Chain A
Amino acid sequence: MEAEKIAWLEDKARQIRAHIIKMTAAAGSGHPGGSLSAADIVTALYFHLLRIDPQNPAWPDRDRFILSKGHAAPLLYAALAERGFFPVEELLTLRKLGSRLQGHPDMKSLPGVEVSTGSLGQGLSAGNGMALAAKLDGRDYRVFVLLGDGEIQEGMVWEAAMAAAHYRLDNVTAFLDYNGLQIDGPITEVMSPEPVADKWRAFGWDVQEIDGHDIGQIIKAVEVARQVKGKPQMIVAKTCKGKGVSFMENQVDWHGTAPKPEQAEKALAELRCER
């Protein structure tokens, strides 16, 4: 992968992060921390890896991306808007009455949203269903699922993990946004999911561990995952909650708090973005 393309994607991720700050600030609520931590993964997917056509969101052969950690909706919306699924101006309607940009993603209201998520732990199961349908129909699309590290405390995730391996769903690639923090504190203090990579391996998945802020590593990991046969693939992506905004980084309180106007201004200055 040439350095120029990576630099372009990094800049796109910066713009996406700025949208997240603007949107949550305008809404006065929302989840910036976990949106920022996964911004590089989602940018790499929507602007390089996914086979999608914003003009034809129902294209049967499109790749599917499922944001299982639905509270990172600002991130998904920013990526979809920047990719051309709907006007960028609409981003500022986030969480407002009558908006298509619901607090958590609603597949019925917004083009590009593949699954309605928000109640944690459910996205991988839906992804498995789509992957089974692809195999039944002989279609070669892939299903990408983004899980939170707190989210994998939900038992249903492991039901789905078992099923994906059982049905040999090699068309499922999952990312774990491994930022280490959840609402009540560090994941290892609240309810440790460790050892994370070993658990997925034990469930029959191909596992890679990467730096979730290194676009080159993200792309390479998906390229490797695509070659895996007979197994679903998990990419454990070490990330930093609040990444890109100094005062939000690794601060648990930014999980579900919107920046105030002056904080947003400071954040946008760091992201080299005009208000």
Chain B
Amino acid sequence: MPANFLFYALSTVTLAAALGVVLNKNAVASALSFFVCLCGVAALFVMLDAYLPAFLLILVYAGAVVALFLFIIMLLDMGGGDRKPLKKTTAAAALITAALLAAGVVSVLSRGKFSTEPPVPIPAGSLFTDLKLYGAKLFTTYMLPVQLVGFLLLIAMLGVIVLSKKQGEDKKP
């Protein structure tokens, strides 16, 4: 089936890119792997019929966040990434801990019953497909969260301005 093949191909690309983020010595290469990983996740979103989140993921994450990371990497001039080579024991301990985390989550999940059936087809005029309904829901049911998130963005903007001001700038005329 083409959907099966698509899922496996996309998940392979995504996981390979995620490992690239972690294992690359060069920080710029890590950021670009992160970009590929985000594109893979966005494609998986499209497979799940979540078109707006996929679009937002590309726009916000792959567009703005990765560009910001690349800017900071250039600003701090640390293309070399880690200076000292990693200790073998550190890497092994990190790997074992991550594997334990994954095993723990999987063991919890395997208690539950996941239906292996394909998802129910989406009815026409559902929130998944209709952007107008999505917007209507955001501005009726989720009005308060939208307002709060707007304030959060404003506060984050102010915080970034305060943080990136040069120290002792006020004393100079």
Bound together: no
